Structure 1
């Protein structure tokens, strides 16, 4: 695995434009990016390499329409953790593949987990598994009905 530089990357207008273009199309060829940016292919490749090396750009991903997996049940679970058990709870939750994202947060809830499952039985099982983790004090879960 590549080590990222600890130096903070200073973005200029070209870097911001490159990142913006990659957000729209992470699969865009360097030659197409160079054409849009009005720069040489080599210059864009160098900037791309520097953004990756510095850790400012972590990688490339596919964006999927919200309704792509319409048969999936998606939910947001807010979790209150007892005392200073947050790291332990996060480690245990990372073992659940149905938790597609986790976020620490401020306010009443310590963690927010995004859940994606195929059935209500799986949903019920995941809720039970999270609630049984040592250090989880309270939770509240909302099923996502539609994106607007």
Structure 2
């Protein structure tokens, strides 16, 4: 990755639907250079996909939370795999300090949220958890 790749990624983070021609103009390179670099970064796994961001208030009915997780012994990989298998877990982050992992949760109702918490708590290797609901995004 060089400076041009990093600038291209920054542009794509701002607007992944920007045309190759517009990106090329902004970066002062050819359209072919932009297309080739995007294709290379996709092939290398640097770019894993493109997504849509919505306003936080568009999904006001969603129940979103952050869960911090302590793991027993050396079971991180198994716990992470189990968490990634749950559709309600939108991201898993490793951390340092008191907690080993932070999981982002997103469910459609309190009942679904409760079921998700029950599922996570039964994952072998999890010592303890603490969950905080996200009330608003500012």
| Structures share fold, TM-score greater than 0.5 | yes
1:58 aligns with 2:51: no
1:101 alignment counterpart? 91
Q: Structure 2 matches for 1:1-148, cutoff 5 A? A: 10-12=1-3, 14-148=4-138
Unaligned stretches of 5+ residues in structure 1: 1-9
Gaps of 5+ in 2: none
Q: Which has the larger radius of gyration?
A: 1
More helix by percentage:
2
**Deviation at 1:57?**
3.0
> Which whole-Å deviations, capped at 9, do the CAs of 1:104-127 have from their partners, x for residues lacking one?
111111111111111111111111
Root-mean-square deviation (Å)? 1.6
Moved more, 46-55 or 61-70: 46-55
Deviations 1:40-91 (A, max 9, x none): 2122223323333343333322222222211100000111111111112122
Deviations 1:110-148 (A, max 9, x none): 111111111111111111111111111111000000012
TM-score normalised by L of structure 2:
0.89
How many residue pairs get aligned? The number is 138
